[in-house]
């Protein structure tokens, strides 16, 4: 083989390796940063390569989204050397379809079924979680909305180290099999009959009402 033939073949190899499609063959999370191997042809697997897991910044923000085995990816290699490649997610195919094809939706769907979806056309954010949701704030949490509905099949618990304040422009309604305030005795209502006079009690609250 002449020097020219070698140069041409090496250039062809480098050109072919500058951009490669493939699927994640394996992932090693013990490395810092984690790395993946990619199968880019039948039986052809790269060495351990770094991958882009969203954004990493020293003075701004950092996010983490790991790749998974079988995920379609692209390899971009400097000078056409696969050993210097960087893996970019993610290329959908018939086995890894996107969670939505709507032009108006931004969707994140996890393997357990949890989904976060924002519909730009409807202006609606939907968070569908298959298990628990935990919100932690060192200071104040403020929620402002037009109306709010809370439906809990098991129950609702509120624990506060200080006062609990509820203000309403209209009525405050509470219905249940029993309503207990500090575990006290029953509340005398306007419908309560005095055992001595046989008449309804007249000394009752004019602002707080409770069903008998």
Q: Convert the pLDDT of each residue in 118-135 to its tens digit.
A: 999 999 999 999 999 999
List the structure tokens of 152: 């809990």
Q: Convert the pLDDT of each residue in 75-118 to its tens digit.
A: 999 999 999 999 998 888 888 888 899 999 999 999 899 999 99
Is the model's pLDDT at 187 over the cut of 80?
Answer: no
Interatomic CA distance for residues 152 and 180, integer angstroms: 19
CA distances (Å), origin 55, targets 48, 59, 60, 66: 20, 12, 10, 12
Give CA torsion, residues 76, 79, 82, 85, to 10 deg. Answer: -40
More confident position, 202 or 127: 127
Can you point out the beta strands (E) in the chain? 19-28, 35-41, 44-45, 49-50, 72-77, 85-89, 105-109, 115-119, 124-128
| Residue in this structure with the two tokens 């073949």, named with its chain if needed | 9
Q: Convert the pLDDT of each residue in 27-72 to its tens digit.
A: 999 998 899 999 999 999 999 999 997 777 777 778 888 899 999 9
> Considering the entire predicted model, what is its pTM?
0.70
Is the model's pLDDT at 212 over the cut of 70?
Answer: no
Q: Coil, helix or strand for 24?
A: strand
With beta carbons less than 8 A apart as the criterion, state whether 104 and 121 touch: yes
CB atoms within 10 A of CB 54: 11
Left, alpha or beta for 166 (phi > 0: left; psi -120 to 50: alpha)? beta
């Amino acid at each position: 083989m002449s020097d020219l033939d070698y140069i041409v073949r090496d250039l062809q190899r480098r050109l072919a390796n500058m951009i490669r499609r493939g699927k994640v063959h394996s992932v090693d999370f013990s490395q810092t940063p984690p790395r993946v191997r990619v199968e880019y042809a039948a039986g052809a697997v790269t060495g351990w390569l770094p991958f882009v897991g969203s954004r990493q910044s020293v003075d701004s923000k950092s996010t983490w989204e790991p790749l998974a085995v079988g995920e379609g990816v692209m390899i971009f290699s400097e000078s056409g050397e696969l050993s210097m490649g960087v893996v970019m997610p993610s290329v959908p195919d018939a086995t890894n379809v996107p969670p939505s094809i709507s032009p108006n939706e931004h969707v994140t769907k996890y393997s357990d079924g949890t989904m976060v979806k924002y519909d730009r056309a409807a202006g609606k954010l939907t968070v569908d979680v298959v298990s628990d949701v935990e919100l932690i704030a060192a200071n104040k949490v403020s929620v402002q909305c037009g109306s709010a509905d809370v439906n809990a099949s098991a129950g609702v618990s509120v624990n506060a180290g200080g006062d609990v304040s509820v203000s309403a422009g209209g009525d405050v309604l509470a219905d249940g099999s029993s309503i207990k305030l500090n575990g006290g005795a029953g509340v005398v209502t306007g419908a309560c009959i005095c055992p001595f006079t046989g008449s309804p009690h007249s000394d009752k609250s004019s602002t707080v009402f409770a069903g008998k």
